[in-house]
C-alpha cells in the first residue's frame, strides 16, 4: 500500500490518495477537497488498472458547489469506453484515464509507460476536464529526463511542466499545481 497527501498550490486544497495492489491489478483511490472556480469541491475517486497499469475503470462521486458529480468510466469489450454506461467511440482504444483534478492519475500513465531515462512517449488519455466536467481525449507526452523527473506536455492546451516523481512513480511536484506533503509505503 502506498499513501500520499498532496497540497494544492494554485488554490486551497488537499488530496489524500491510497494506491494498492490486488490480484487483478492496481487501485488508486482518494478524496480531493479544494477550491474550484470560487466554489468548494469535494470529490471521492477510484481508478482501477490492470497489472500492467492500463486503466480499466474510474468512478467519481461528490460535488462542486451545488453540482453533484456521479461519474463512472469503464473500458468495455474491444476497448470501447463507456461513460455512465453510454459508449463513447471517440475514446476507443485509449489506455489511460486522467482525472484532471488530481495528480494521482498521472501515476498510472507513468507506471504503464515505464520509460527509461531519455525516452519519450506520446499517448492519448481518457480525460475528465475539470473546467466543464466532461470526458474528452487528451493528447499527452512524457519525456523521462532523470530517474525522478519527466517533462510532461499537453500540446493542445499549450501546457508544459517538469513533473518530479517518487521512486514509486507518484508525482511529488507538479509545478504551480500540486506538491506532495508526505508519503508512506506499507507492505
Name the average pLDDT for the chain. 95
Domain range holding 128?
2-182
pLDDT score of 78: 85
CA 48 remoteness from chain centre: 11
C-alpha cell at 112: 504503464
Say whether pTM exceeds 0.85.
yes
The pLDDT tens digits for 33-84 are: 999 988 999 999 999 999 999 999 999 999 999 999 999 999 988 889 999 9
Look at residue 187 and tell me if it is in a domain. Answer: no
pLDDT score of 187: 59
Q: What domain count does the chain have?
A: 1
Torsional class of 148: left (φ above 0), alpha (ψ -120 to 50), beta (otherwise): alpha
Look at residue 34 and tell me if it is in a domain. Answer: yes
Look at residue 7 and tell me if it is in a domain. Answer: yes
Contacts of 161 (CB under 8 A, 6+ apart): 151, 152, 153, 174, 175, 176, 177
Amino acid at each position: 500500500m502506498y499513501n500520499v497527501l498532496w497540497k494544492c498550490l494554485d488554490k486551497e486544497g488537499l488530496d489524500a490518495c491510497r494506491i494498492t495492489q490486488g490480484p487483478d491489478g492496481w487501485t488508486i483511490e482518494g478524496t480531493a477537497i479544494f477550491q474550484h472556480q470560487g466554489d468548494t469541491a469535494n470529490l471521492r475517486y477510484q481508478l482501477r488498472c490492470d497489472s500492467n497499469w492500463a486503466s480499466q475503470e474510474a468512478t467519481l462521486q461528490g460535488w462542486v458547489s451545488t453540482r453533484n458529480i456521479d461519474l463512472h468510466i469503464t473500458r468495455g469489450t474491444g476497448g470501447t469506453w463507456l461513460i455512465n454506461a453510454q459508449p463513447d467511440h471517440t475514446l476507443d482504444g485509449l489506455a489511460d484515464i486522467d482525472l484532471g483534478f488530481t495528480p494521482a492519475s498521472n501515476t498510472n500513465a507513468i507506471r504503464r509507460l515505464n520509460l527509461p531515462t531519455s525516452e519519450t512517449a506520446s499517448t492519448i488519455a481518457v480525460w475528465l476536464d475539470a473546467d466543464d466536467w466532461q470526458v474528452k481525449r487528451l493528447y499527452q507526452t512524457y519525456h523521462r529526463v532523470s530517474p525522478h523527473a519527466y517533462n510532461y506536455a499537453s500540446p493542445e492546451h499549450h501546457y508544459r511542466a517538469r513533473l518530479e516523481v517518487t521512486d514509486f512513480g507518484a508525482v511529488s511536484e507538479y509545478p504551480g499545481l500540486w506538491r506532495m506533503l508526505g508519503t508512506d509505503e506499507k507492505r
